[in-house]
Amino acid sequence: MSYVLITGASSGIGKAFAEEYASRGNNLILVARSGTKLDALATELGGTHNIDVRTFIQDLSLPDSAEKVFDFCNRENLAVGTLVNNAGFGLDGAFDSLPLETHEKMVVLHNLTLVKLTWLFLPEMKRRNQGDIINLSSVVAFQGIPYNAVYAATKAFVLTFSESIREELQHSGIRVFALCPGLTETEIFEKTGINPHRTLMPVGPPEPVVRSAIESLNKNKSYSVPGFINKILIHGGRLLPRTVMLKLGMVLSRREKSMIKHSE
């Protein structure tokens, strides 16, 4: 029996992935820090769709977290057929005004844990000649963003990493895909008291983003940028000098207050 493993599954895009895969009859392994939310979601999805849903509570910003997730799956004899590396958080603020520890946690969560989970689960996928890996990147992966420097850099890493291993695995039966959404409505903004609609960027709900991702994966695309305006911004930006795009990034950056947005 195969499972879809989703990190950061308790809210936002991760929760939408869980709901979408559950509606398609997939068994789930949900990983996040929020045990109460995970258990409630597991009970709801398992009962509604008659699927097996397992939960594992873990802070994925810790360097050894990927190994703990992998060991849990091995102990429970859970075969991961689809890996969704979704967990992450965002920062707004000048690079040197934010704690170094927070930057480090972001790099570990967005990059190190993602790489480790991919490396750990890949051998079994290769043995079965089948598997899907979805990595959450962002529209900011295509261009540096002032006041979101580390966030943009980590998301650029995710996109480049995903495209690179996808090419390595092209004859293995394993599909690798990077999702690059723009601003997405989640309960995170409610908790911080920040209105995402104050930005100049379009804001959309997570459900269409997830459905678009799975559709693009099934079409064997290497990445997708959901949303017409987001696509225009990305492809139009390639025609402009990077210095101009950085200036535009300054305009688009919200600098009223520093914030941390968690998707765990």
Query: Which 3 state secondary structure label does DSSP give 3?
Result: strand
**Own/partner pairs, 203-212, CB within 8 angstroms, 24+ separation:** 206/12, 206/13, 206/15, 206/16, 207/16, 207/19, 207/20, 209/13, 209/16, 209/179, 209/181, 209/184, 210/13, 210/16, 210/17, 210/20, 211/20
Name the pairing type of β-strands 174-179 and 223-224.
Answer: parallel
Judge whether 223 counts as a catalytic residue.
no
Q: How many CA atoms lie within 13 A of 120 on its CB side?
A: 22
**Number of C-beta neighbours around residue 243 at 10 A:** 8
Which tokens go with 90? 């965002």
SS3 string, 69-118, reads HHHHHHHCCCEEEEEEECCCEEEECCHHHCCHHHHHHHHHHHHHHHHHHH
Residues 6+ apart with CB under 8 A from 123: none
Query: Which 3 state secondary structure label does DSSP give 134?
Result: strand
Which of 3, 147, 151, 223 does the annotation list as catalytic?
Answer: 151
Conformation bin of residue 15: beta by default, left when phi > 0, alpha when psi is -120 to 50: alpha
Tell me which residues are annotated as active site: 151
